[in-house]
Amino acid sequence: MHLINQPLDNLIESAVEQNRILSLKTYLLSVAGCTILDQIISTILGKYQQLALKGMTYALVKELVMNATKANLKRTLFEEHNLAIADAADYEQGMILLRQVLQESRVMEYKNRLKAKDYWTMITFYFDETVLNIKVKNSFPLLPIEEERVRQKLERARQIPDLSELLAELDDTESAGLGLSMICITLRNQGVDNRSFTLRSNNYQETAAKLEIPFVKNYIPKDVRLAHF
């Protein structure tokens, strides 16, 4: 169910009551968008008496949305400056431009450009009494260099004991948020299997981050279940 042209409160409550999938499309998350995210998460968690998970869930979803938006912004900057994203020298130059935009808090300037190019971010929620599944995707596959960075971050996250050490290691491109490593560490600190979080390209030339927030202690992440078949 897409949140379009219907009363927000009634739409969300009705969709959650019927266990329907909810999807929210954004180009650059606004205050209103954050409110919608908060209400969706609160309504789903409230249905299953899991409101204690709200703070963590909202923070992680917002982080994933920021990560997807930065990927879209990166593509926009490369195109506007005629840089070849697959070329190593051009890629480094483009990353310098991205850091400048993030450091100078100029991201909001690009909202209309992202919309004109239809560089969207889609957030989808589907759930039952055992788990809240969240998928955040955009319309670009990961480049090899990006896949390697993701792999390194997730491997490093398994070694970092807490968030304080992570904060000391953040690079400039993560200054607007705590990054993918923070997601893994937060899940681990909450007793959630790190395999409940994945980020990879799919067969539709998209990049999708998937997050599973379990409601039961014996929940087994989807990747683990599939590995046994």
Q: In 105-178, which residue ranges form alpha helices assigned H by DSSP?
A: 111-116, 144-159, 163-169
Write down the pLDDT at residue 176.
Answer: 39
User: Does residue 1 belong to any structural domain of this protein?
Assistant: no
Write down the pLDDT at residue 174.
Answer: 45
Q: How far apart are CA 78 and CA 97, in angstroms?
A: 9
Are 61 and 134 in contact, with CB atoms under 8 Å apart? yes
* Structural Rg of the chain based on CA atoms: 18
How many residues in the chain? 229
Are 73 and 101 in contact, with CB atoms under 8 Å apart? yes
Mutual angle of helices 179-189 and 54-80, in 10-degree steps: 170
User: Does residue 142 belong to any structural domain of this protein?
Assistant: yes
User: Does residue 65 belong to any structural domain of this protein?
Assistant: yes
**Angle formed at CA 146 by CA 196 and CA 224, multiple of 5 degrees:** 20
DSSP-assigned states of every residue in 5-50: SS-HHHHHHHHHHTT--EEEEESS--HHHHHHHHHHHHHHHHHTT-
User: Does residue 2 belong to any structural domain of this protein?
Assistant: no
Exposure on the CB side of residue 55, measured as CA atoms within 13 A: 3
User: Does residue 34 belong to any structural domain of this protein?
Assistant: yes
- Residue range 125-174, pLDDT digits in tens: 999 999 999 999 998 999 888 888 888 888 888 788 777 776 666 654 44
User: Does residue 46 belong to any structural domain of this protein?
Assistant: yes
User: Does residue 3 belong to any structural domain of this protein?
Assistant: no
What is the separation of C-alpha 82 from the centre of its chain, rounded to a whole number of angstroms? 27
Write down the pLDDT at residue 175.
Answer: 41
Q: Which domain holds residue 113?
A: 8-227
Low-confidence stretches of the chain (pLDDT beneath 70):
1-6, 166-178, 228-229
User: Whole-model pTM?
Assistant: 0.88
Q: How many domains does the chain have?
A: 1
Residue entry with tokens 């997807």: 68
Q: How far apart are CA 84 and CA 79, in angstroms?
A: 8
Instruction: Look up residue 102 and give its two tokens.
Output: 């993030």
Instruction: Look up residue 122 and give its two tokens.
Output: 């889609």
Write down the pLDDT at residue 215.
Answer: 97
List beta partners, residue 123: 24, 136
Write down the pLDDT at residue 167.
Answer: 67
What is the separation of C-alpha 136 from the centre of its chain, rounded to a whole number of angstroms? 5
- Within 8 A by CB and 6+ apart from 191, the residues are none
User: Does residue 148 belong to any structural domain of this protein?
Assistant: yes
